[in-house]
A and B are shown apart, each in its own frame.
Chain A
Amino acid sequence: MNPFRRDPSSDALRPSARTRSLTRSVGIGRILDRGFGILVTAAGISVLALAALVGWELYRGAEKAIGRYGAGFLVSSHWDPVTGRFGALPFLYGTLVSSAIALLLAFPLSVATALSLTEFAPIWLRRPVLTLVDLMSAVPSVVWGLWAMFEMVPWLRQTGFPFLQRVFGWLPFFQGPIYGVSLLAGALVIAMMITPIVTSLAIEILRSVPPTLREAVWALGATRWEVMCVGVLPYARSALVGAGVLGLGRALGETMAVTMVIGNRPDILLSLFAPGYTLASVLVNEFAEATSEEHLSALFEIGLTLVVVTFVINFLARLLIHNVPLFFAPRPLPTQPMEMHR
């Protein structure tokens, strides 16, 4: 019995049947629908407004310093609130270098962890490690800082750094006196804090690799390593880079734990064993005791700099992640492409 066959007893298809109107009077459903739309749009706009407001307030606070020091604020390395000299370069340097080192350490570890949990580890191990990774990203910054201050730094001073100096002492980065608190200690804490986040992102990315792609490699008689190199990583490459840059964005703003171990000295020294300072740390350390107007304004400009740097980094990450066609761009194999003209 064909359900679509015209039933002569039904008048639904006859021209004489009462037609259903396309216009309708305003009903309660329609009002609610509109109202809800307006409500969520307002929520969306309020986020924009909040961001604009923060930016504006920072700018207003920093206006004086910007007018007074101009570009010199970012290139001068003298920071002395007592004599009223304010140069932010040491903080910018400390922030960028500690974050970069942290990312350098955390990114390979995160991707390797994600790969092991999606491709290699036995099934029974995956769930517990995954849960642990998620738990780690929920540990408060100050707790990491406490642990780093009382456990990690003393260990680094007595064992870790002397070892590094013995092995890599010929490099300028590993020379000079060892205090424990240092740029490198700060970078290590940041690395530990962003690893769970980057790992979570990387796991999601690797899970989104289509299973058909993996099967295609398997079916050609590939080992797991080859499936990873041929199928998974080329596909996920730019998304993974994006995850790394998002991690970098987090690293730049890390405050509490870093402040506790980085040493807080506004100097630019090549040695990673020397104490450093970051934009976020100087804010948290000096805001409460900034009395002069210049000092306060300079701190506002520090805040503005941090926001701008983080914003730029995140913007780059977004470009990488949303530029999906990048995934599909052809790329030569590691071996030389062979020429074939016929």
Chain B
Amino acid sequence: MSESTSNAKGAVPASAEGADPQKRSAAFQIEDLHVWYGNRAVLHGISLNIPVRQVTGIIGPSGCGKSTFLRVLNRMHEFTPGVDVQGRIRLFGEDIYESRVDPILLRRRVGMVFQKSNPFPTMSIQENVLIGLRLAGIRNRGLLEERLEEALRMSALWSEVKDRLHAPGTALSGGQQQRLCIARALAIRPEVLLMDEPCSALDPIATAQIESLIRDLGQRYSIVLVTHNLQEAGRTADFTAFFLEGRLIEFGSTKKMFTNPSQKQTEDYLTGRFS
């Protein structure tokens, strides 16, 4: 698929100058993605490209399928029985639903941060960060130490925890726990980071910290950020996709979409004229 074809059915890319995400090189190329829970379709023919090293926000009302969309990107939906996926998703050109693909290896390249921070309660801060590397079989102490600091620095947690790396992960504050979870995801150096409403359980100060962190990480990683908070998408995302009832309504640069949306439904949603 050439990168210039924007064959998003129903999606109208907002084509501001140079701001068309479909014209950028893509981390994920998603073509005609359908997802069913049993007989109920939750995503109807989504096509879009997730641009490389940018933050792509996914917004939409509850139940529009944005979390489901995120989960099929690293095949986490496979633990929910009765979910059916059709269409094609390629990660840097490789079809992730091909039978030879090992979802375990996929998840090492596509990290995930969840709505509720979920550090492992029985592990220290250090063990939480390093567990992914240990699972990947890395035993080299030098490398582990290096990655520990790297991940904690990238998640802006290093200065706060460097003196208590052996304290339990659950001893941290809510915002710190979420940053710990981000560090845990970053330690295995994924290429894409999926974030499922990472700030929805945090207070405004912790939220601001995480949002600024996401903007920084967006320079180095391809991030997909699902959020129900429009301001959050406005503040952190380079590109925004608006989902409604399982369809992609509009996808374009955040600035363009928030100031001059091309679709009536997007405008209604952004201005709160939606019930």
The 8 Å CB contact of B188, one of A210, A221, A329, is A221
Chain B residues with CB below 8 A from A215, complex form: 76, 79, 112, 114, 118
Binds A, one of B3-11, B120-128, B227-235: B120-128
How long is the Cα–Cα vector from A235 to B118 in the complex, in angstroms?
12
| A331 located at the interface, meaning its Cβ lies under 8 Å from any Cβ of chain B in the complex | yes
Q: Is the Cβ of A221 less than 8 Å from the Cβ of B135?
A: yes
Binds A, one of B83-91, B160-168, B266-274: B160-168
How long is the Cα–Cα vector from A330 to B118 in the complex, in angstroms?
15
Chain A residues with CB below 8 A from B205, complex form: none
- Identity of the chain A residue whose Cβ is nearest the Cβ of B112 in the assembled complex: A219
Q: Is the Cβ of B168 less than 8 Å from the Cβ of A220?
A: no
The 8 Å CB contact of A218, one of B76, B116, B166, is B76
| B81 located at the interface, meaning its Cβ lies under 8 Å from any Cβ of chain A in the complex | yes
How long is the Cα–Cα vector from A234 to B121 in the complex, in angstroms?
9
Q: Is the Cβ of B148 less than 8 Å from the Cβ of A220?
A: no
Q: Is the Cβ of A222 less than 8 Å from the Cβ of B120?
A: no
| A226 located at the interface, meaning its Cβ lies under 8 Å from any Cβ of chain B in the complex | yes
The 8 Å CB contact of A223, one of B104, B132, B145, B162, is B104
Chain A residues with CB below 8 A from B104, complex form: 221-223
Smallest beta-carbon distance B20→chain A, Å: 31
| B170 located at the interface, meaning its Cβ lies under 8 Å from any Cβ of chain A in the complex | yes
Q: Is the Cβ of B131 less than 8 Å from the Cβ of A219?
A: no
Q: How many residues of A sit at the interface, in one of the four size bands? A: 20 to 34
Q: How many residues of B sit at the interface, in one of the four size bands? A: 35 or more
Binds B, one of A129-137, A247-255, A333-341: A333-341
Q: Is the Cβ of A216 less than 8 Å from the Cβ of B181?
A: yes
How long is the Cα–Cα vector from A221 to B107 in the complex, in angstroms?
5
How long is the Cα–Cα vector from A332 to B126 in the complex, in angstroms?
10
The 8 Å CB contact of B162, one of A218, A226, A237, A342, is A342
Interface residues of B in 107-162 (CB under 8 A from A): 107-108, 111-112, 114, 116, 118-124, 126-127, 131-132, 134-136, 139, 141, 144-145, 148, 162
Chain B residues with CB below 8 A from A328, complex form: 121-122, 168, 170
| B178 located at the interface, meaning its Cβ lies under 8 Å from any Cβ of chain A in the complex | no
Q: Is the Cβ of A213 less than 8 Å from the Cβ of B118?
A: yes
- A-B contacts, 23 of them at CB < 8 A, read A213-B120, A215-B79, A215-B114, A216-B181, A218-B76, A219-B76, A220-B185, A221-B106, A221-B107, A221-B132, A221-B136, A222-B104, A327-B121, A329-B168, A330-B167, A330-B168, A332-B127, A333-B127, A335-B139, A337-B126, A338-B141, A338-B144, A340-B165
